[in-house]
Amino acid sequence: MSGRLMVIGLGPGDDRYLTREALAALEAADALYGYGPYLDRVPARECQSRHPSGNREEGARADAALRHVADGANVSVVSGGDPGVFAMAAALCEKIETGPEAWRALDILIIPGITAMLAVAARAGAPLGHDFCALSLSDNLKPWELIERRLDAAASAGFVIALYNPISRARPWQLATAFERLGRYLPASTPVIFGHAVGRPGEKMIVTTLDKAGDTTADMATLIIVGSSETRVIARPGRAPLVYTPRSVEDAMA
């Protein structure tokens, strides 16, 4: 008899971002699978095995977890943020589609979490108050040319854009290129928010403008929100500014 697969979003930081459903699923698991630093955020429990793996080992991680479930174990696969946003839920679904027929009969529960763009947006105010989209700047699983086309389309359509995986040691040039492309469609004064490690030690929030965004340091722990032409910044003396995008747009072509 097979067990149960639980795909869990840990949220952006410490335990206060975990839902009750996620906590219960973590406690009920016989085994935990996930990227090592994410597993480190989950307290160790007796009689519960842990199976950490590297950042680019999603396919192997999914295979191993599904085999373990098929053998009868209750398995939790953890992701930072939400498991369905550039994370393990899609990797597991892909394996289920292409794997053994028996995997399609497994009991599967996907448990949402607070994804990084929502955590950063909440810290900044309400930049996602109107239409928005999310893009990953990583070209590990898709060509850079496709990323450029999607940046062009999103900016020209007036979406606020949340940028995941903005830069890494292997991709040091792509973020600057993305800002340059966005600048073809957006005013230089467009607000840009950098949220680093929100909900964790070292959290840092920076609000700047598109023409100065290239001077701000980012890494893989940074989520960037690029406003639309409608996005506003409310200055507050002695306090961090509030960034928001109005819920209405007067010009239908904006």
What pLDDT score was predicted for residue 122?
A: 97
What pLDDT score was predicted for residue 168?
A: 87
Mean residue pLDDT of the chain comes to 94
The mean pLDDT value for 106-124 works out to 97
CATH fold, domain 117-244, is 3.30.950
Distance CA 210, CA 231 (A): 12
Residues of the chain with CATH 3.30.950.10: 117-244
Residues of the chain with CATH 3.40.1010.10: 4-114
The pLDDT confidence band at residue 250, using thresholds 50, 70 and 90, is confident
**pLDDT surpassing 90 at residue 226:** yes
**pLDDT surpassing 50 at residue 254:** no
What pLDDT score was predicted for residue 60?
A: 95
What is the value of pTM for the model shown? 0.93
CATH number given to 4-114? 3.40.1010.10
**pLDDT surpassing 80 at residue 2:** no
Whether 44 contacts 32, CB under 8 Å: no
What pLDDT score was predicted for residue 99?
A: 95
Distance CA 41, CA 63 (A): 22
Shortest CA distance to 82 belongs to which of 143, 134, 27? 134
The mean pLDDT value for 145-169 works out to 96
What pLDDT score was predicted for residue 70?
A: 96
From 35-39, 87-91, 250-254, the region with the lowest mean pLDDT: 250-254
Whether 70 contacts 106, CB under 8 Å: yes
